[in-house]
């Protein structure tokens, strides 16, 4: 049976990584008909997923995700495209989480910019 193994590092911490793993589980249940079970632990969680022809686990830690999927004989022929789709879904969720965590840029008006704005309003 072909295996798919992925590792993605992150800086989310366990609470945010947990939320992201729940989103991932909901998405693969809906999109691919997976049955997902989340096993919460003190230092990490495990999302166990399966459906006909595929089974695996997503290990969720404070600083990384490890995914291991085992494909059955028929799905093994599509292992590269399945791996690419899993990567795409997980990377998209990580990208969204990173964008939310990024500090928002604040702009302060410099005295010169503030006086120029005041001059425009006066005219």
Residue 93: which domain range?
A: 3-122
Query: Are 60 and 6 a contacting pair, CB within 8 Å?
Result: no
Over residues 8-24, the pLDDT tens digits come to 999 999 999 999 999 99
Both tokens assigned to 71:
């494909």
Low-confidence ranges of the chain (pLDDT < 50): none
Domain count, the chain: 1
pTM, two decimals, is 0.77
CATH number, domain at 49?
Answer: 3.30.310
DSSP string, 42-107: SSEEEEEEEETTEEEEEEEESSEEEEEEEE-HHHHTTHHHHHHHHHHHHHHHHHHHHHHHSPPP--
């Amino acid at each position: 049976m072909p295996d798919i193994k992925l590792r993605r590092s992150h800086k989310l911490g366990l609470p945010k990584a947990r939320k992201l793993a729940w989103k991932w589980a909901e998405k693969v249940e809906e999109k691919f008909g997976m049955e997902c079970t989340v096993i919460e632990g003190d230092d990490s969680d495990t999302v166990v997923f399966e459906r006909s022809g595929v089974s695996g686990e997503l290990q969720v830690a404070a600083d990384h995700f490890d995914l291991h999927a085992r494909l059955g004989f028929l799905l093994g022929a599509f292992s590269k495209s399945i791996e690419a789709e899993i990567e795409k879904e997980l990377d998209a969720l990580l990208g969204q989480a990173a964008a939310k965590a990024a500090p928002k840029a604040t702009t302060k008006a410099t005295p010169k910019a503030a006086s120029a704005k005041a001059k425009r309003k006066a005219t």
